[in-house]
């Protein structure tokens, strides 16, 4: 059926799952207990659903015995590993809201998230490469060096009592993982069963921080119902069964990993495979071959890196069938190579945002090839979407550009302790305003055209210029700064900062980058610096970022990438 206005709702013969994550978890364990649930190759660990359940229940009882109540927040700050997924399900069992923290965050960003969410606990890995997580939390909470475990008293973070290492710790105030697990002996099975029974599917269970246009991240608060169903329908749209084996090289702290990956597999009794702590292209191919994977996730830059390996042809990827490419626009040629060379003939494109759990659109196996490479597909099951004229709020005719809005089970509960931002994002009729411009055709396929806001998408990471601008303004030599994106063949976009200096001071490009390093996430550090006395302005004094972008593209010689 052809449509005339830009509205669509997702029909489905499958009902929404009306239960909590732990109740679904127990059902899957009872049905598929002897099947592999999680394979973590870099840790040389593989667990069946029954074995995973045992670990999860012990950890959940440890949290309860440590004094965590329903609704308390626990942060997790780590790369991908078995402890991460165990913590995801254990906190859900105990009714604790998991605050997922980007492992690229540094002290400045971590402090904000811990304080704004009111975390009572933090689970962290001790170190990864140059990231000394234990050192950073020790810097924020110097009291840890003289505290007993579980009794941190921090002036800066009054709610934070428990810091839990995924391994062992050198600070007296941080729990070693195995020591924390022994607390489970103080909590009975009946305590865990009661905690699980007391939960409701609409309770908050996850807070994910997204970079904010006000300079600080906002905590998208998601319920059991939100993320359990989204994971279920993402995997269902890929025709998942208990026989599927999914390689997940994307980070677990984001919805792509923990919802589309972990919960997508859980809801179907399938197996999730972590090839490495962070993305390594060869580890992905090795995992797909050795584990006979049927599915693979990634942002376009990941697939590009895998295809570019000199020894790519040495890997046998014939077991692959499907997967999802999301997080950034997919080049048509990349999609064709993934289809042909990686044998992923059923690979799909997905679109969404953290605030919608995340997926709102997904291509289908039977979508025409041109639609599979040029659109983000059709609306997801049980979800409504519309495209509106930003001036009038009325729905646009088909093939007319406007703002994309989403409504349904997937829309977040709101931004954590930020009613003002929530009201701006979700209108009185329940529509989530995405801030993205889109076009819908007569068949309901949607193409994302651009962004109303100034968000930069660098390698699948959302970066808001204001956050970087406000940080750079803490440098006493900088008078004004404006940040925008420019095209990049590898990451899709890169960051350029236009900087105006105060009188009689000097600052070099390298000094600006050094000022950023270790204080903000690496992907937010501008690649390009342009010193300028003034910025392009309107007659009313508003900065014209589109003109800054045009000038930067010309000066940097990026015209070819801009038209690619």
Extract the tokens encoding 314. Answer: 């040495």
Which tokens go with 217? Answer: 């991240």
Bridge partners (DSSP) listed for residue 349: 325
pLDDT given for residue 470 in this prediction: 80
Q: What is the pLDDT of residue 214?
A: 44
Given a contact cutoff of 8 angstroms between Cβ atoms, the answer to whether 219 and 116 are in contact is yes
pLDDT, residue 546, reads 79
CA distance 133 to 315: 35
- Look at residue 284 and give its three-state secondary structure: helix
Q: What is the pLDDT of residue 543?
A: 75
Token pair recorded at residue 204 = 């908050």
Cβ(412)–Cβ(419) below 8 Å: no
DSSP letter string over 386-419?
EEE-TTT-PBPBTT--EEEEEEETTS-SEETT-H
- Would you say 247 and 296 are in contact if contact means Cβ atoms under 8 Å apart? yes
Question: What does the chain come to in residues?
Answer: 564
* Rounded distance between C-alpha atoms, residue 466 and residue 215, angstroms: 5
- Among residues 357, 355, 352, the alpha carbon closest in space to that of 227 is found at 357
Residue extents of the structural domains in the chain = 1-16+362-452, 21-34+44-218, 456-562
User: DSSP for 222-275?
Assistant: EEHHHHHHHHHHHHHHTT--TT-EEE--S-TTSHIIIIIIIIHHHTTT-EEEE-
Structure tokens at 485: 């994106």
How far is the C-alpha of 461 from the C-alpha of 82, rounded, in Å?
A: 23
Q: Which two tokens stand for residue 420?
A: 């003002």
**What is the chain's Cα-based Rg?**
23
> CB–CB of 125/43 below 8 Å?
no
Average pLDDT over the chain, rounded to whole? 93
Residue 388 pLDDT level (bands cut at 50, 70, 90): very high
**pLDDT confidence band for 207 (50 / 70 / 90):** very high
For a pLDDT cut of 90, what percent of the chain falls above it? 81
CATH class entry, domain 456-562: alpha beta
Average pLDDT rounded to a whole number, residues 520-525: 94
Which is nearest to 174 in space by CA: 142, 133, 145? 145
pLDDT value at residue 460: 85
What pLDDT does residue 106 have?
Answer: 92
Say what the pLDDT of residue 540 is.
42
**Start-to-end C-alpha separation, the chain:** 34
Each residue's pLDDT tens digit, 3-61: 899 999 999 999 999 999 999 999 999 999 999 999 999 999 999 999 999 999 999 99
* Cα 203 to Cα 97: distance, rounded to the nearest angstrom: 9
Confidence of residue 310 (pLDDT cuts 50, 70, 90): very high
pLDDT score for 213 = 39
Distance (Å, whole) CA 5 – CA 441 = 9
Q: Which pLDDT does position 456 carry in this prediction?
A: 86
- How is residue 350 annotated by DSSP? E
Q: Residue 456 pairs with which residues in a beta bridge?
A: 463
Could you list the beta-strand ranges (E) of 102-217: 121-124, 162-165, 174-175, 204-210
Superfamily of domain 21-34+44-218: ANL, N-terminal domain (3.40.50.12780)
Pairing assessment for the beta strands 478-488 and 492-501 based on DSSP bridges: antiparallel
What pLDDT was estimated at residue 450? Answer: 66
In which residue are the tokens 């269970």 written? Answer: 205
Peptide bond into 358 cis (omega under 30): yes
DSSP letter string over 303-322?
HHHHHT-TTGGGS--TT--E
**CATH topology assigned to domain 1-16+362-452:** Luciferase; domain 3 (2.30.38)
Report the pLDDT averaged over residues 406-425. 97
The pair of structure tokens assigned to 464 is 């808001």
- Which residues contact residue 22 at a Cβ distance below 8 angstroms, ignoring those fewer than 6 apart? 89, 92, 93, 196, 199
Reported pTM: 0.85
pLDDT at position 538 over 90: no
CA 279, CA 167: separation in Å to the nearest integer?
Answer: 21
Query: In this predicted structure, what is the pLDDT of residue 563?
Result: 65
Q: What is the pLDDT of residue 393?
A: 95
Q: Please answer whether residues 530 and 497 qualify as being in contact, where contact means their C-beta atoms are separated by less than 8 angstroms.
A: yes
pLDDT tens, position by position, 467-509: 898 899 889 999 889 899 999 988 999 999 999 998 899 999 9
Q: Are 306 and 285 in contact (CB under 8 A)?
A: yes
Confidence band for 451, pLDDT divided at 50, 70 and 90 = low
395 has a pLDDT exceeding 80: yes
**Which phi and psi angles does 425 have, rounded to 5°?**
-80, -40
User: d(Cα 50, Cα 262) in Å, to the nearest integer?
Assistant: 16
Q: Computed from CA positions of residues 232, 78, 90, 199, in that sequence, does the dihedral angle turn out positive or negative?
A: negative
Element (H, E) at 7: strand 7-9
Tokens 């303004």: give the residue: 473
Q: Which residue has the higher pLDDT, 315 or 391?
A: 315
């Amino acid at each position: 059926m052809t449509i005339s206005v830009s509205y669509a709702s997702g029909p489905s013969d499958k009902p929404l799952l009306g239960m909590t994550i732990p109740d679904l978890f127990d059902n899957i364990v009872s049905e598929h207990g002897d099947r592999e649930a999680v394979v973590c190759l870099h840790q040389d660990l593989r667990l069946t659903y029954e074995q995973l359940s045992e670990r999860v229940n012990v950890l959940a009882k440890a949290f309860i015995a440590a004094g965590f109540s329903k609704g308390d927040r626990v942060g997790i700050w780590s790369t991908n590993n078995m402890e991460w997924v165990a913590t995801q399900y254990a906190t859900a069992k105990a009714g604790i809201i998991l605050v997922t923290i980007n492992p690229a965050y540094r002290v400045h960003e971590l402090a904000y998230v811990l304080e704004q969410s009111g975390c009572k606990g933090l689970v962290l890995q001790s170190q990864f490469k140059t990231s000394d997580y234990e050192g950073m939390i020790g810097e924020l909470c110097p009291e840890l060096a003289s505290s007993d475990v579980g009794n941190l008293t921090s002036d800066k973070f009054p709610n934070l009592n428990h810091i839990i290492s995924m391994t062992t710790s050198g600070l007296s105030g941080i729990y070693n993982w195995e020591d924390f697990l022994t607390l489970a002996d103080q909590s009975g099975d009946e305590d865990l069963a009661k905690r699980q029974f007391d939960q409701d599917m609409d309770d908050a269970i996850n807070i994910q921080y997204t970079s904010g246009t006000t300079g600080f991240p906002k905590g998208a608060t998601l319920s059991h119902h939100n993320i359990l169903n989204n994971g279920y329908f993402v995997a269902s749209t890929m025709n998942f069964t208990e026989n599927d084996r999914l390689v997940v090289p994307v980070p677990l702290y984001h919805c792509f990993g923990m919802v589309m990956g972990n919960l997508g597999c859980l809801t179907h009794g399938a197996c999730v495979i972590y090839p490495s702590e962070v993305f390594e292209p060869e580890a992905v191919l090795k995992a797909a071959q050795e584990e006979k994977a049927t599915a693979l996730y990634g942002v376009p830059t990941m697939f590009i890196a895998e295809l570019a390996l000199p020894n790519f042809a040495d890997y046998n990827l014939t077991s692959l069938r499907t997967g999802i490419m999301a997080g950034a626009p997919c080049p048509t040629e990349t999609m064709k190579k993934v289809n042909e060379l990686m044998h992923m003939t059923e690979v799909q494109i997905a679109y969404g945002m953290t605030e919608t759990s995340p997926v709102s659109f997904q291509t289908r196996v039977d979508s025409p090839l041109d639609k599979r490479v040029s659109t983000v597909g059709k609306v997801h099951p049980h979800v409504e979407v519309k495209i509106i004229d930003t001036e009038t709020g009325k729905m646009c005719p088909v093939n007319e550009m406007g703002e994309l809005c989403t409504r349904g089970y997937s829309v977040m509960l709101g931004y954590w302790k930020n009613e003002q931002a929530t009201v701006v994002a979700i209108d009185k009729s329940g529509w989530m305003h995405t801030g993205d411009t889109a076009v819908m055709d007569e068949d309901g396929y949607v193409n994302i055209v651009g962004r109303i806001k100034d968000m930069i998408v660098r390698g699948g990471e959302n970066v808001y210029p204001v956050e970087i601008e406000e940080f750079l303004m803490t440098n006493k030599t900088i008078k004004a700064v404006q940040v925008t994106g420019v095209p990049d063949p590898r990451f899709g976009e890169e960051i350029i900062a236009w900087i105006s200096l105060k009188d009689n001071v000097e600052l070099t490009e390298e000094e600006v980058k050094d000022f950023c390093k270790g204080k903000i996430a690496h992907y937010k550090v501008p690649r390009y610096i342009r010193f300028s006395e003034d910025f392009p302005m309107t007659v009313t004094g508003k900065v014209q970022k589109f003109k800054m972008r045009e000038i930067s593209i010309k000066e940097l010689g990026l015209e070819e990438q801009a038209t690619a």
